[in-house]
A and B are shown apart, each in its own frame.
Chain A
Amino acid sequence: MDFLSQIVNGLGIGSIYALVALGYSMVYGIVQLINFAHGDIIMVGAYVTYLILVVGGAPLWAAVVASILFCALAGVLIERLAYRRLLSQNAPRISLLITAIGVSIFLENLFQLLFTSSAKSMPNLFPGPPVSLGGLQVGRVTAITLVTSITLMLLLQLLVSRSKIGKAMRATSEDTGAAKLMGISTEMVVAFTFAVGSGLAAVGAVLYCGAYPLINPYMGNLLGLKAFVAAVLGGIGSIPGAMFGGFLIGVAESLTKAAGGSQITDAVVFGILILVLLCRPSGLFGSNVREKV
């Protein structure tokens, strides 16, 4: 039973990784950019939630909505100010990556200046007794996290596969030039992708704060990195892959912790990344695309 509850805990944190991984994966699928600033969007989301909830005294749902909107706006703004010029010029990949790193460092240091580097503690977001699931006691936070993130992932899958904007996203991802010729406003699609990804990151931030109620300007670093590992593990660019990768990383992490290796969990996660890259570089769900000249 203990083993089972560890797995459920792992799935809980894993579903947060999955939500964040979706942001990486969607952006990468469309503009082939590892958006290093994505992890820091989580941090932004956490701070906005904290400000509205604790300083502003608003109810939780208002804080969550505000945080989602703010992060989506921040994502679009970052794309507009930092990336678009390079994307439209077909700049070398390394320039884009360095810009993304720059945005990430900028956000971290801006928030450190604004809120100091000492951690702020979040109140208990989801108070209440544990939920009983078929005889298994599951923490309330874990249950809420799992339900929320799985619902969101299903909605996203629907959005991408059924809606008109989803069709435009898939077309842009397939061939940006051809999509443009078909009358798709690819710039709008890219902006929309950043908005959706950042909004999901904001939800991830709230759920993460439910489980680990301490926020600091650098919290997004490692969280973002692990989410990226999850995205690569599942096959970058694939939505089910990101979900699966997130769950896998979460479970691997919680089992390592349970086995007494809490110091080396990060090393285990990167060990998994290196193994995957060695054996199946396109990830578990990714399709192996031949590079064309």
Chain B
Amino acid sequence: MEMKNTDSRLSAAAPSGQKRWVSWLTNFLLVALLYGAFAVPIANKSINRYYSGILIMICINIILTVSLNLVSGFLGQLVLGHAGFMSVGAYTSALFAMNSGLPIGAAFPLGLVLGGLVAALFGLVIGVPALRLHGDYLAIITLGFGEIIRVLILATPFTGGARGLTVKTRISRQPSVYFTWAFFIAALTVFIVYAFIHSRHGRSVVAIREDEIAAEAAGVNTTYYKLLTFILSAFLAGVAGGLYANHVGALTPVKFDFNYSTELLVMVVLGGMASITGSIISASVLTVLPELLRDFSSYRMLVYSIILIIVMLFKPSGLMGEREFSMKKLIGFLRAAGAKRRKPGGGKGGA
């Protein structure tokens, strides 16, 4: 939903401090505007609980999709157990909030961070053996991890096993308050991922995707960057899990199965590998769509799989490819269109 729109290539070409400042302000205003557009109707109850619940799920899925895109789209490694990291974060933060004894105002944010950190720790343990190797081992190991973590949650006593875990202490049952949390954490996630990708580190990550051997030859520490990206992604998934735990109030291991990991992958692939905007759009659409097509639910995974195959065969880069939404480009486009209308046939205009 939120669009990050600093065009780094332009600002890198002309690093004038003022322009960057303007661009930051536009982004900030845009996010605030978007927040207002949803928060006001939620607060004065013109949107009911069902719809505000969907909006919160959209925020959570955006965090998950953008963080998965970080590894799958930008780093070019397939992860099939993203829901596993999410479940680690969900259980950790829920158990922390219930047992720490802190007031919920402190326990909730701390629990989110802790959930993220524990998920990141799991990411480290899995990533070290898998990422040292070339090839597709990460996919298979994360797939196995996702299944194992589910079995372990079922087998350990303090997680409630198959009966599930009721999250007794929740930050708020008010949708307006909770939407604010979810929205700004999602916005922060998008910002973090965007900033990471457009930093020096991010360029190394993209270089690894393009050609690992060439990147290594150019002096990029490939293992380090692969691990760093993977851990960051796991951390964000853990945070999303914590948000999810607080949102639904009841956790069952079944929710975090392979199907959910696949659904997240479909969101990434459909939106566009290596497009944050694409991830945000497809996460939003694919969260709303199943709610609209409830009768259709038994065919959902079948359709998802066909979409996955067809997109891979005919447009492997996804719908958005690597393109991002940018205010600057939009304004430039509008100016060009306006100039065209004033002066028919006059080609270029705008920035």
Contacts and interface: CB of A to CB of B under 8 A. Distances in A.
A230 to B, nearest CB: 12
Nearest to B125: A274
Interface string B260-273: 00100100010001
B299 interface: yes
B144 A225 contact: yes
A270 B134 contact: no
Interface stretch (A8-16, A106-114, A203-211): A106-114
B136 A97 contact: yes
A103 interface: yes
Interface string B297-341: 011011011101100110010000000000000000000000000
Contact of A103 (B137, B269, B298, B305): B305
Label chain A's interface by main secondary structure: helix
Contacts of B298: 113
Label chain B's interface by main secondary structure: helix
B258 interface: yes
Contacts of A34: 136, 139-140
A47 to B, nearest CB: 16
A97 B140 CA distance: 10
Interface stretch (B11-19, B57-65, B147-155, B190-198): B147-155
B175 to A, nearest CB: 33
Interface string A247-283: 0000000000000000110110010011001100100
Contacts, number: 110
A293 B265 contact: no
A95 B139 contact: no
A99 interface: yes
B68 interface: no
A277 B139 CA distance: 13
A102 B309 contact: yes
A247 B179 CA distance: 53
Interface stretch (A55-63, A84-92, A185-193): A84-92
Contact of A266 (B80, B147, B213): B147
Contacts of B126: 274
Nearest to B312: A99
A25 interface: no
B305 A91 contact: no
B77 interface: yes
Interface in B115-149: 126, 128-130, 132-137, 139-141, 143-145, 147-148
Given A113-B298, A277-B130, A225 B143 contact: yes
A154 interface: no
Interface string A192-223: 00000000000000000000000000000110
B48 to A, nearest CB: 32
A267 B137 CA distance: 17
A101 B155 contact: no
Given A94-B72, A225-B144, A263 B302 contact: no
A98 B147 contact: no
Contact of A101 (B214, B262, B316): B262
B78 interface: yes
Contacts of A144: none
Contact of B302 (A113, A267, A273, A278): A113
B256 to A, nearest CB: 15
Of listed A108, A229, A277, A278, residue having the most chain B CB within 10 A: A277
12 contacts: A34-B140, A92-B76, A94-B273, A99-B308, A103-B309, A106-B302, A225-B147, A270-B148, A278-B129, A281-B133, A281-B137, A293-B213
Given A113-B299, A222-B147, 9 more contacts: A32-B135, A93-B135, A94-B76, A97-B78, A98-B269, A225-B143, A267-B151, A277-B133, A281-B133
